[in-house]
Structure 1
Amino acid sequence: MKIGILQTGHAPDPLRDTLGDYDRLFHKLLDGHGFSYRTWNVVDGEFPPGVDAADGWLVTGSKHGAYEPHDWIPPLEQFIRDTQADGRPMIGVCFGHQIIAQALGGRVEKFAGGWSVGRTEYSMQGRTVALNAWHQDQVTQRPEGAVATAQSDFCENAALLYGDRIWTIQPHPEFDADFIDGLINTRGEGVVPDDQLRGATEALTTPTDRMDIGAFMAEFFKKERA
């Protein structure tokens, strides 16, 4: 199965050189599930020729806001709507979660409650799941028909399901402790409150459920659909 990765941002240069860009993080997360990949850097204006260029689609995270006036955002939103109409499976993570919601009629805002950074626990369909987060923006209004499948006290719409073909999540299953540590040191200081950065640093050695969510993502892409 070929997964098309719509890359909507780039990792900070020091992390890209050592840990890889965002698409490579997903290659590692989904390793062993038999996928092949092609990346389109939509953040740089590079788009697929059509939704049939891959069997499933994955929209990455980004430092940008879904509501910002970038030239590449409207065509990305249209591509998302075209994918939904076509019926191919799609997954969005962080910015991907937000832009899919916005494209399908939801609302994304800079959350007044501030940032979520580092290891964070969510209630997901009857169990507690821990994943690394790095965001201030949130989906504050779900699109019609979208169902919340994960939430926390801080983030009401932490994961959304659209029928059985689109699933999105606000935190980052692709971010391991090394990547979060790198973000703390390259993008955190002066942006995220110091006490949150300290808390995220202290939690780096505490395990997360990222690989379980990676396995769920793989199953979501591959499952049989009518």
Structure 2
Amino acid sequence: MTEPFTLGILETGRPPEALAGKFPSYAEMFAQMVGATAPEHWKFEYYVALEGELPPSPDTCNAWLITGSKFGAYEDYPWIHALKAFIVKAYVAGVPMVGICFGHQILAEALGGKVIKSEKGWGVGHQAYQWSTTKPDWLAATDLAGQDAFSILAFHQDQVVEVPPQAEVIASNDFCPAAALVYGDQVLSFQGHPEFSADFVADLIEEKRDDVLGASIADKAATSLAQPIDRVAIGAGIVEFLKAREAEWINKKAANAG
């Protein structure tokens, strides 16, 4: 029997209250996305980092995924400081991590980069990103194999403006130069939201239209949702990235046992 591989999901945000009854939580969105192509022996554990709930140790799970959030990775909240400290411990321990949007940003902040509220404003709706010249190996097992670009939905104003020294940009566009990062073979992060459906973003745009976005940005973003996105392929790519980390973990255990 294959030993379970546990992905811990660190929940750092929630859908707006007005949408909570209509859509899954952010943690559930990720479990659905990863679960669509993950091996059957994988399982998920959930921690509400937003409320100060963190695992007792970085090796409590085999890998970690950090969700999106309405908060800024640079904000002065106890739970944000605690999460940064946990990230550093996990990184030093060699535990794999994946970050999306806020997760992408707080990984960068914790590991030596810088995040700001960008003067470029909001990036909302359909966003196309170009892969760097060295495309990730795990793309070969997805529908994006051989493609130079991908598209997913986005909803952010904060951006990574200084990339940590150990990280490499693997995808970008003019609006967001650090749209996806890798830290060696251990960490992967995206600014966009592969877990978000067009239906959810459409409702989120309307929820934020008046008090956050304004009509011009909201209208343009809503119109963009008709364009195709690669959310399924990026989700599968995240699974492939973690499967490679799982194989390394299995080999390491076997070597230690021997």
TM-score where L is the length of structure 1: 0.96
Whether 2:83 is the aligned partner of 1:76: answer yes
| Residue in structure 1 matching 2:190, options 160, 165, 169 | 169
Q: Percent identity?
A: 40
**SS of 2:21's equivalent?**
helix
Q: Does the Cα contact within 8 Å between 2:206 and 2:218 map onto a contact in 1?
A: no
From 16, 32, 50, the equivalent of 1:12 is 16
2:155 corresponds to which residue? 134
The 1-side partners of 2:19 and 2:199 are apart by: 9
Q: Deviations over 1:136-177 (max 9, x none)?
A: 000000111210001000011001110101011101000110
Corresponding residue for residue 107 of structure 1 = 114
Q: 1:83 to 1:188 in 2, by over 3 A?
A: farther
Secondary structure (helix, strand or coil) at the match of 2:78 reads coil
Relative to structure 1, the CA distance from residue 36 to residue 137 in structure 2 (aligned partners, 3 Å threshold; closer, same or farther) is same
- C-alpha displacement of 1:206: 1.9
Q: Does residue 1:183 correspond to 2:190, yes or no?
A: no
Instruction: Give me the TM-score of the superposition, normalised by structure 2.
Output: 0.85
- Equivalent runs, 1:135-154 vs 2, <5 Å: 135-154=156-175
Count the aligned residue pairs: 226
Q: Deviations over 1:69-128 (max 9, x none)?
A: 111111101110111111121000000000000000100000011010000111023511
Report the AA paired with residue 142 of structure 1. Answer: V
The change in CA–CA distance for 1:190 and 1:14 in structure 2 (over 3 A counts) is closer
- How far off its partner does 1:191 sit? 1.0
The CA distance in 2 between the partners of 1:156 and 1:202, in whole Å, is 23
Task: List runs of 5+ in structure 2 lacking aligned partners.
Answer: 134-147, 253-258
1:67 equivalent in structure 2: 74
1:188 deviates by 3.3
Larger radius of gyration: 2
Please list every run of 5 or more consecutive structure 1 residues that lacks an aligned counterpart in the other structure.
Answer: none
Q: Distance in 2 between matches of 1:155 and 1:88?
A: 27
State the Cα distance separating 1:204 from its structure 2 match. Answer: 2.0
Find the residue that maps to 1:132 and give its secondary structure: strand
Residue 116, structure 1, aligned to residue 109, structure 2? no
Equivalent of residue 241 in structure 2, options 197, 220, 224? 220
* Partner Cα distance (1:188, 1:115) in 2: 12
Q: Deviations over 1:190-215 (max 9, x none)?
A: 21132221122112222100111000
Q: Do residues 200 (structure 1) and 221 (structure 2) align?
A: yes
Q: Which amino acid aligns with 1:73?
A: I
Q: Which amino acid aligns with 1:117?
A: V
